[in-house]
Amino acid sequence: MKPDSTFDSIIIGSGQSGNPLAFFLADQGEKVALIEKGKLGGTCVNTGCTPTKTYVASARRAWELSQANRIGVKVSTNPKIDLAEIWKRKETIIGSSRKGLEKGMEENDKIRLFKGVGKFLQPNLIQVAKHRLTAKKIYINVGTRPRIIPGFENVRYFTNESILEIQEIPDHLLIVGGSYVGLEFAQIFRRLGSKATVLEKGDRIIHQEDPEHSKMVQEILEAEGIRFELQSNCLSGKNRGKSQVEVQMDCHGKKKAVRGSHLLLATGREPNTDLLQLE
């Protein structure tokens, strides 16, 4: 099986490692192939750091207005939250980042961008769309995707990616998972006006942190009106009509259910390496 093109290096994935590596290798005089199945920039630019911090900024302003009376600044009316405008601002910011990357790639004659899923045919041979590429060095920077736990396959749910596309504030956001992603969105949407309930199977949130930190963060979020259901082994989800979703849980050996208008699954990430045909 012969290649169509030969490179010094092939990079699979244009995320936070792939992009700077491509430019670095090109500066060293290497001929580089960069493969990307989605949008340039990977998770951080498109569905992670950049868009969520844009939402955090808007939520922070809303929270500051809600607290203004406490420090002697009289706010006569409640602020109107326009999620569609917040979404537009987010799109403008990430669009600018992507355009900068695209321009840099186009102007660099050492880098060639291939769109599609990269798969190994041989140890040094990669198939992407109709192209077969070869190089002595192949860098894997494929990142991760949201993990969907069993029992929720047929429920109306959002992930950290899809919830960034909604245009209306949820009435009551249920969040399965009490780690970084779940807590960030809980605070964002609570500050924007939603009710928020976090369902965590462990006995504390962000269990990677020290117990004291977990407790402190939970107390801060509870003071903002976020509810927590700990030691909740979330068994399954169920659609309730067209406007509600229900999560059925086993809490302390007792079955219970909680309903909301929207459901966010923040149940971890899984690697995209299964797309590479490594076997």
Question: Per-residue pLDDT for 145 more than 80?
Answer: yes
Exposed/middle/buried for residue 16 (C-beta within 10 Å: 0-12, 13-18, 19+): middle
Question: Per-residue pLDDT for 208 more than 80?
Answer: yes
Name the residue type at position 202.
G
Identify which of 68, 25, 20 has the alpha carbon closest to the alpha carbon of residue 45.
Answer: 20
Cα–Cα dist 274/122, whole Å: 16
Mean pLDDT of the chain: 94
Query: What domains appear along the chain, each with residue ranges and CATH number?
Result: 1-143 (3.50.50.60), 146-270 (3.50.50.60)
Question: Per-residue pLDDT for 253 more than 80?
Answer: no
22-44, pLDDT tens digit by residue? 999 999 999 999 999 999 999 99
Question: Per-residue pLDDT for 242 more than 70?
Answer: yes
The answer to whether the CB of 3 falls within 8 A of the CB of 132 is yes
pLDDT given for residue 77 in this prediction: 67
Mean pLDDT of 71-100: 90
158-172, pLDDT tens digit by residue? 999 999 999 999 999
101-116, pLDDT tens digit by residue? 999 999 999 999 999 9
pLDDT given for residue 184 in this prediction: 98
pLDDT given for residue 217 in this prediction: 97
Instruction: Name the pLDDT band for 236 (thresholds 50, 70, 90).
Output: confident
Mean pLDDT of 119-147: 96
Inter-axis angle of helices 83-107 and 18-27, nearest 10: 20
